Structure 1
């Protein structure tokens, strides 16, 4: 079964209200804000795949390079002026000399593979 974002959102409302309406959901939201926000974030993370901003990059994460259509291991984001950069490799590396460097480009890197 392939779920949609809307089906998952509806499931949260139904669970929280035990089949009630949106007004009941809004009244319960105050009591379960952290739990509901956590599940909504999980849904958004699963279904949404916006390009990563530089400040979202973290050392040791895998990122999808949509320009070259491949996965890259991000050894370290480099917050240099005037151009921000990435130290990366196609495999996990332990030292920056094992990797490569490229300038950061907006709209190029993603958390998940981009299906076109």
Structure 2
């Protein structure tokens, strides 16, 4: 299958399991497996994907269908401009927490550190 077909397949698989943001998760897993940028995907979506990449993508989609968090599958989560390595033993940093931290930092006296 080509890149577009794989992402379409992944999206439909995740939608069947009512995974929130199925198209986005399917894309992130595809990007993780193939290292194909969004621009390359848009320009060259008919490119055939290597068999081993397809198998790995299928495995990750299957795990995501079991509601395993995307971040646990990729092993990374961006937070406050930094990339953190995550696994099933840690809490996944969330956007809501980032927003709270930004608001707290606004109240801190200028030039002082919180910790």
**Fold conserved (TM > 0.5)?**
no
Where is the helix percentage greater, Structure 1 or Structure 2?
Answer: 2
Where is the strand percentage greater, Structure 1 or Structure 2?
Answer: 1
Task: Using structure 1 for the length normalisation, give the TM-score.
Answer: 0.30
